Amino acid sequence: MIRKGIKLYSILFGACPKCHQESMYINKNPYVLSDTLKMHDHCSHCKTKYQIEPSFFYGSMYVSYGVGIAFAVAAFIIAYELLGLSLIAAFIAIVVTLIALMPVIMRLSRNIWINLFMSYDKELAKKDNGNS
């Protein structure tokens, strides 16, 4: 199951990679396009700074390439194999999927990227907000 404490939780929900207690994003809805990539500076629960170094998240572009391909393959299998559409229709389905899911893909990539560098920390998660 997906629960706090495993990396997948932070990746899927955009939660702080260290404590999983709150979202890294200012607006939880990735489809508010002006807010898609707006993130908090640091976690208000554990004070982890998300942007480890300047331009840290540029690296997530490498990840988004892989994530995009994964979604494209999934769209192709669904359209071509499961729905029995023609090749052309399947390719249109891929393009539509990639465009429609772009905000999700961008966030997933950032989440995966930051989770490559940080791991869940039980002690930070427990820590009380006020007394630090």
Applying CB under 5 A, which residues contact Zn ion?
16, 18-19, 43, 45-46, 48
Rounded-to-integer distance, Cα 66 and Cα 84, Å: 25
CB nearer to Zn ion: give 46 or 105: 46
Q: How far is the CB of 5 from Zn ion (least distance, A)?
A: 13
CB nearer to Zn ion: give 29 or 119: 119
Amino acid letter for position 26? I
CB nearer to Zn ion: give 50 or 71: 50
Amino acid letter for position 70? A
Q: How far is the CB of 30 from Zn ion (least distance, A)?
A: 20
CB burial of 93-125 (b: ≥16 within 10 Å; e: otherwise) equals bbeebeeebbbebbbbbbbbbbbeeeebbeebb
Q: How far is the CB of 110 from Zn ion (least distance, A)?
A: 15
